[in-house]
Amino acid sequence: MKKILISLFCVSLLFAVSCNPIENNEEKEPEKEYYSAKQKEALAILHGSFSYTFYGITTKLTFSQPYAKPVEVAMEDGSKTETHGKFTILYYEGSSYERLYRIHQDGKKISIYSTYNSVIVKTEVKDFQYVDANTFKWKATNDMQWDTYKRD
């Protein structure tokens, strides 16, 4: 009888240990995907500093890490849009501006936002091309020439 009770005790103890009520009673939610595969590809490169030189004039972009999930911001007209990160643009003459950006779903365009008092006051959309881990290109949609930025 003692062996049966010990066996039942051991079985019930094993059952109790294997059943973590917190993990087993709550269904684990699958991790939400915030970005498309093409957006992830583009966002993977957008961190650190990049430079573009044209006729001896250099423009430098410094990207902070992209946001883990999009951040919603207010537009000047009261609407909202999501942004994926921010960067600082430094022009050759020394002027510097912080911008927010959003990679479009297909990864082929990037919207660049200027802000004033936490409100977006200007938007520019550029064609965007991921070249490799250290290079990307962009241009205004109507331009013929691509500006090629290389990692510093």
At 54-64, the pLDDT tens digits run: 999 999 999 99
Residue with tokens 């000047």: 76
- d(CA 84, CA 6) in angstroms, rounded, equals 59
pLDDT recorded at residue 22: 46
Mean pLDDT score of the chain, rounded to an integer?
85
pLDDT recorded at residue 95: 95
- Digit-coded pLDDT (tens) for 62-115: 999 999 999 999 999 999 999 999 999 999 999 999 999 999 999 999 999 998
Q: How open is the CA angle 8-9-12, to the nearest 5 degrees? A: 85
79-108 in b/e form (b: 16+ CB < 10 A) is eebebbbbbeebeeeeeeeebbbbbbeebe
- d(CA 97, CA 61) in angstroms, rounded, equals 10
What CATH code would you report for 37-151?
Answer: 2.40.128.640
The pTM score is 0.77
Task: Give residue limits of the domains in the chain.
Answer: 37-151
Whether residue 16 has pLDDT greater than 90? no
